[in-house]
Amino acid sequence: MMRTLFILSTAVFWLAVGAFWAANVWLPDKAAGPDAVAADKMWTLVEVARHNQAADCWMAIDGAVYDLTAYLPQHPSNPAIILPWCGKEATEAYHTKTKGRPHSSHADQLLSTFHIGRLIRP
């Protein structure tokens, strides 16, 4: 009786170890989830330029590409100030607000949440 119990529990133990190992090998790695993949994606300015409207707005800033569509309605300025930068290389506009004043570090942090990849320079 004890012997059967021992064999059974040993078998269950090794089955659990095997399942763990298999899960590690076959299940997708969490670190390579959507964010990590997005961060490595490369875009050209031609592709960025296709997203040049309020309903679909990308910008290239400091060599990175951002999809700002969801953020536009929340941006505190008059929309006429930010909209023309959709689909464009907007590094200078972002760093100056077109008024010679930089955005806050809060804005920088917010910006990073819309990162979708890097810009390929021609």
Q: Which residues bind ligand HEM (CB under 6 A)?
A: 59, 68, 71, 75-77, 81-82, 85, 90, 93-94, 97-99, 101, 103-104, 106-107, 110-111, 114
Rg (CA), the chain: 24
Nearer to ligand HEM, 45 or 107 (CB): 107
Give the N- to C-terminal CA distance of the chain in Å, as an integer. 75
92: region left, alpha or beta (phi > 0 left; psi from -120 to 50 alpha): alpha
* CB closer to ligand HEM out of 18 and 102: 102
Q: Please identify, using beta-carbon distances, which residue of 30 and 106 lies nearer to ligand HEM.
A: 106
CB 70 to ligand HEM: min, Å: 10
Nearest to 74 by CA among 31, 113, 120: 113
